[in-house]
């Protein structure tokens, strides 16, 4: 069968391994029967071939895209390790083999030695950003693992008896026999924020190794968790929680700066400001050069933070690149440029702000930045889930509830009346009453509860979504899986646990990885560092809201460095009004350029006629109604790219 364009072919060369530079993850490992897996045959790319002897008649071929280096590869006897990324604890792993800590290029060897000594248990000892394949002929296993947060994603596909593994999903899709059919359930769920299973992708023929999990592909076993929050918790230092937070945040920033000079997407909010503060202190102590502050100024006064952005950069002594949004927005507008990005991406972008921020990152790259840091994760991890109000109301801890309400009032753009209503009703009594009623009904008439939930879920779905009855039924079942029935005492605990596996976390790190490969500059999120999250996840809500302020740890750390921000800082800024006004202004042109939603219609994901009739009305309504419509347009552009050949075409 002839190779499709994009398949990995290259001539036999002397094996060498190393970093893939500023475009990580562009390699593919192919494990199959020795007589079928042949060395590459063209004049481009790099490759490594290992043939196993004995009963396990297999051949491992690791090949890189043309112009890209192989990942690190180490082999010893029946074991071959393929490693992409960066280890954080080289010295600790070296002690397992009683060696001196080796240099950065020996990470694969350290992993191999740890695996030889401890077996699969070695995964619990590894710290870093990585995608990893361990091929062990003696144990007849192919162990694949992604780091705890999935900073380096890893995907796999099976073609007959052959196994294919890569951090670059498009390389899998380019191989003969790998189905490129879209995963209809993932697409429909994406539109309504319904979480996919962690091993699912947008493609039916490709699965993901979930973050913090390993998968033995040879055994065909389900993903097995090797890293979890509970076992990694770091106890909060009640005497100096801000100092402890700073220590772990600076460690997280150092790990990112290990890749080279950095820039920071700096807004006027507390999340990116805390990252910038930690990076500036690293620079002052000589551990790194001062990062560039990369700032966009939004034209809407409601979300314009220019004075804070300039103040932070000046007081932290950071060089700054700052400019109005229109200087970085393409001439065709934010919506059409975002649709064009969907056509060039392996997953639809979550925000149409991504194009100007990508351009800002490229401007930082021109100034020497090899890494751009973001404040992603702050909203989810620097403060307790909002239903902490329900937990305190249930315990009749009115003093804590009052402190929580005041923290919200200082941080969010809400009135005193709104803060009372949020604390006592929306995030307090209402979730408790719902949980109490559901628990009682579950005990008395479980079938009635299921029927009620099913009816409510069906009515909440847009009329134009999933007209195919099979797909709609699957979507409803997926929604019911998430609708567990915690008792009122478990409302907060469930929300606390749910944030660990929310799809935003998976999408955030995978989008950052793909942007890194596309832009040639790494996008990293220090607030999503596993050790830092081990502290934040286990910290009491009062510690997170240190000093009675939302995101108190990050706030106090930044105020120590920039006291001029004042006692009223920070105040949460929302861009919903600007988003809606932009959609209403640019929507007709973007829709016209797209030409309808025929692709999603053919798949049965969207009823094209109903969607057309509701599209204009939806953009005139609140954000919750308009956002799913925008997701549809983005998905349609993404599918159109597959049909036109820009991406591997969907069948």
| CATH pick for 27-227 out of 2.60.210.10, 3.60.20.10, 3.10.129.10, 3.40.50.300 | 3.60.20.10
| pLDDT for residue 592 is more than 60 | yes
| pLDDT for residue 116 is more than 90 | yes
**Is residue 15 within 8 Å of residue 73, measured between CB atoms?**
yes
**Closest CA relative to residue 296, chosen from 322, 320, 327:** 322
**Confidence band (pLDDT; 50, 70, 90) for 12?**
very low
Instruction: Give Cβ neighbours of residue 157 (< 8 Å, ≥ 6 apart).
Output: 163, 164, 172, 175, 178, 205, 206, 207
Interatomic CA distance for residues 444 and 483, integer angstroms? 18
Residue 40's pLDDT is: 54
DSSP 147-210: -TT-SS--EEEEETTEEEEES-HHHHHTSTT----B-HHHHHHHHTTPPPPTTB-SBTT-EE--
**CA separation, residue 474 to residues 190, 200, 204, 237, 638 (Å):** 14, 14, 15, 46, 23
More confident residue, 398 or 612: 398
**Is residue 96 within 8 Å of residue 114, measured between CB atoms?**
yes
Would you call the peptide bond into 570 cis, given omega within 30 degrees of 0 as the criterion? yes
Residue 612's pLDDT is: 85
**Closest CA relative to residue 492, chosen from 548, 421, 544:** 544
**Is residue 251 within 8 Å of residue 128, measured between CB atoms?**
no
Averaged over 234-257, what is the pLDDT? 96
**CA separation, residue 554 to residues 275, 282, 515, 585 (Å):** 9, 16, 27, 37
**Is residue 155 within 8 Å of residue 600, measured between CB atoms?**
no
**Confidence band (pLDDT; 50, 70, 90) for 372?**
very high
More confident residue, 346 or 550: 550
Residue 433's pLDDT is: 94
**CA separation, residue 359 to residues 105, 308, 476 (Å):** 32, 22, 39
| CATH 3.60.20.10 domain range(s) in the chain | 27-227
| pLDDT for residue 270 is more than 90 | yes
Averaged over 13-40, what is the pLDDT? 65
In the sheet that 262-265 helps form, which strands lie side by side, from edge to edge? 320-324, 292-297, 262-265, 371-373, 522-524
- C-beta atoms surrounding 117 within 10 Å: 13
Interatomic CA distance for residues 484 and 439, integer angstroms? 10
Interatomic CA distance for residues 49 and 530, integer angstroms? 34
- C-beta atoms surrounding 637 within 10 Å: 25
**Confidence band (pLDDT; 50, 70, 90) for 13?**
very low
Residue 37's pLDDT is: 74
| CATH 3.40.50.620 domain range(s) in the chain | 233-319+367-381+503-572
**Closest CA relative to residue 292, chosen from 269, 307, 275:** 275
Averaged over 343-369, what is the pLDDT? 89
**Is residue 78 within 8 Å of residue 24, measured between CB atoms?**
no
| CATH pick for 233-319+367-381+503-572 out of 1.10.10.60, 3.40.50.720, 3.40.50.620, 3.40.50.800 | 3.40.50.620
Q: Exposed, middle or buried by CB within 10 Å (0-12, 13-18, 19+), for 280?
A: buried
**Closest CA relative to residue 383, chosen from 220, 576, 544:** 544
Instruction: Give Cβ neighbours of residue 396 (< 8 Å, ≥ 6 apart).
Output: none
More confident residue, 415 or 450: 415
**Confidence band (pLDDT; 50, 70, 90) for 344?**
confident
**Is residue 256 within 8 Å of residue 262, measured between CB atoms?**
yes
Averaged over 554-571, what is the pLDDT? 97
Residues of the chain above pLDDT 90, percent: 61
Instruction: Give Cβ neighbours of residue 145 (< 8 Å, ≥ 6 apart).
Output: 123, 130, 131, 132, 134, 154, 209, 213, 214, 215, 226
DSSP 467-501: -SHHHHHHHHHHHHHH-----GGGHHHHHHHHTTS
Interatomic CA distance for residues 525 and 272, integer angstroms? 10
Residue 386's pLDDT is: 95
**Closest CA relative to residue 479, chosen from 457, 463, 460:** 457
More confident residue, 287 or 19: 287
Query: Own/partner pairs for 422-425, CB < 8 Å, 24+ apart?
Result: 422/386, 422/389, 423/389, 424/389, 424/393
Instruction: Give Cβ neighbours of residue 632 (< 8 Å, ≥ 6 apart).
Output: 191, 597, 600, 606, 611
**Is residue 301 within 8 Å of residue 548, measured between CB atoms?**
no
β 224-225/371-373 pair status: unpaired
Residue 464, Ramachandran bin (φ over 0: left; ψ between -120 and 50: alpha; else beta): alpha
Q: In the predicted model, what is the mean pLDDT of the chain?
A: 88
**Closest CA relative to residue 338, chosen from 117, 586, 166:** 586
Averaged over 540-561, what is the pLDDT? 97
- C-beta atoms surrounding 437 within 10 Å: 13
β 141-146/213-216 pair status: antiparallel
Residue 313's pLDDT is: 98
**Confidence band (pLDDT; 50, 70, 90) for 21?**
very low
Helix axes 623-644, 334-344, angle to 10 degrees: 40
Helix, strand, coil in percent for the chain, rounding step 5: 50, 15, 35
Averaged over 355-370, what is the pLDDT? 97
Instruction: Give Cβ neighbours of residue 144 (< 8 Å, ≥ 6 apart).
Output: 132, 133, 134, 154, 156, 165, 209, 214, 215, 216, 217
Residue 542's pLDDT is: 95
**Confidence band (pLDDT; 50, 70, 90) for 4?**
very low
Q: What is the total residue count of the chain? A: 651
More confident residue, 35 or 449: 449
In the sheet that 72-76 helps form, which strands lie side by side, from edge to edge? 72-76, 79-87, 128-136, 141-146, 213-216, 224-225
**CA separation, residue 638 to residues 190, 426, 503 (Å):** 13, 37, 19
Interatomic CA distance for residues 64 and 20, integer angstroms? 9
Residues of the chain above pLDDT 70, percent: 90
More confident residue, 253 or 452: 253
| pLDDT for residue 535 is more than 50 | yes
Instruction: Give Cβ neighbours of residue 171 (< 8 Å, ≥ 6 apart).
Output: 6, 8, 26, 27, 28, 65
């Amino acid at each position: 069968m002839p190779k499709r364009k994009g398949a990995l072919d290259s001539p036999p060369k002397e094996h060498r391994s190393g970093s893939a530079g500023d475009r990580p993850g562009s390699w593919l490992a192919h494990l199959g029967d020795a007589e079928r897996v042949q060395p590459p045959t063209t004049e481009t790319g790099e490759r490594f071939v290992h043939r196993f002897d004995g009963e396990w008649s297999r051949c491992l071929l690791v090949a890189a895209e043309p112009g890209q280096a192989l990942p690190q590869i180490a082999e010893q006897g029946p074991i071959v390790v393929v490693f992409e990324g960066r280890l954080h604890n080289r010295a600790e792993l070296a002690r397992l083999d009683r060696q001196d800590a080796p240099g950065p290029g020996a990470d694969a060897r350290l992993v191999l030695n740890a695996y030889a000594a401890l077996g699969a248990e070695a995964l619990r000892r590894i710290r870093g950003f990585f995608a990893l394949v361990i091929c062990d002929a003696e144990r007849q296993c192919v162990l694949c693992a992604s780091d705890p947060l999935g900073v380096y994603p890893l995907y796999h596909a099976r073609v007959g008896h052959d196994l294919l593994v890569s951090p670059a999903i498009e390389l899998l899709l380019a191989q003969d026999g790998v189905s490129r059919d879209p995963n209809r359930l993932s697409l429909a769920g994406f539109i309504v924020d319904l979480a996919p299973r962690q091993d699912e992708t947008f493609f039916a023929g490709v699965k993901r190794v979930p973050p913090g999990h390993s998968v033995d592909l040879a055994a065909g076993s389900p993903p097995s968790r090797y890293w979890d929050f509970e076992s990694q918790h770091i106890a909060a230092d009640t005497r100096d929680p801000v100092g402890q937070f700073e220590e772990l945040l600076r460690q997280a920033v150092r790990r990112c700066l290990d890749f080279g000079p950095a820039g920071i997407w700096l807004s006027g909010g507390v999340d990116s400001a805390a990252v910038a503060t930690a990076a500036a202190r690293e620079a002052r102590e000589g551990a790194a050069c001062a990062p560039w502050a990369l700032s966009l100024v939004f034209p809407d006064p409601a979300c314009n933070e220019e004075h804070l952005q300039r103040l932070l950069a000046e007081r932290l002594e950071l060089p700054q690149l700052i400019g109005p949004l229109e200087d970085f927005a393409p001439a065709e507008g934010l919506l059409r440029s975002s649709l064009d990005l969907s056509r060039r991406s392996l997953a639809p972008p979550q925000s149409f702000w991504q194009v100007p921020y990508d351009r800002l990152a490229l401007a930082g790259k021109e100034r020497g930045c090899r890494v751009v840091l973001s404040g992603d994760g702050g909203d989810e991890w620097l403060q307790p889930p909002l239903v902490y109000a329900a937990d305190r109301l249930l315990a009749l801890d009115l003093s804590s509830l009052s402190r929580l309400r005041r923290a919200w009032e200082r941080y969010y753009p809400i009135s005193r009346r709104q803060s009372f209503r949020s604390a006592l009703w929306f995030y307090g009594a209402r979730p408790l009453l719902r949980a109490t009623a559901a628990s009682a009904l579950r005990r008395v008439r479980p079938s009635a509860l299921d029927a009620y939930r099913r009816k409510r879920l069906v009515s909440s779905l847009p009329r134009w979504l999933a007209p195919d009855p099979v797909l709609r039924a699957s979507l409803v079942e997926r929604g019911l899986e998430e609708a567990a029935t915690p008792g009122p005492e478990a409302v907060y605990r469930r929300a606390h646990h749910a944030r660990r596996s929310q799809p935003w976390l998976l999408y955030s790190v995978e989008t950052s990885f793909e942007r890194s490969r596309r832009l040639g500059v790494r996008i990293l999120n220090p607030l999503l560092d596993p050790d830092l999250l081990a502290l934040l996840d286990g910290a009491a809500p009062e510690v997170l809201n240190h000093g009675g302020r939302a995101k108190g740890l990050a706030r106090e750390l930044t105020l120590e460095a920039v006291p001029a921000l004042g006692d009223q800082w920070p105040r949460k800024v929302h861009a919903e009004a600007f988003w809606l006004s932009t959609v209403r202004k640019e929507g007709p042109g973007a829709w016209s350029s797209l030409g309808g939603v025929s692709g999603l219609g053919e798949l049965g994901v969207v009823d094209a006629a109903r969607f057309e009739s509701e599209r204009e009305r939806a953009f005139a309504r609140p954000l919750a109604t308009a956002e799913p419509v925008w997701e549809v347009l983005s998905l349609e552009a993404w599918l159109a790219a597959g049909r036109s050949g820009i991406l591997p075409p969907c069948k």
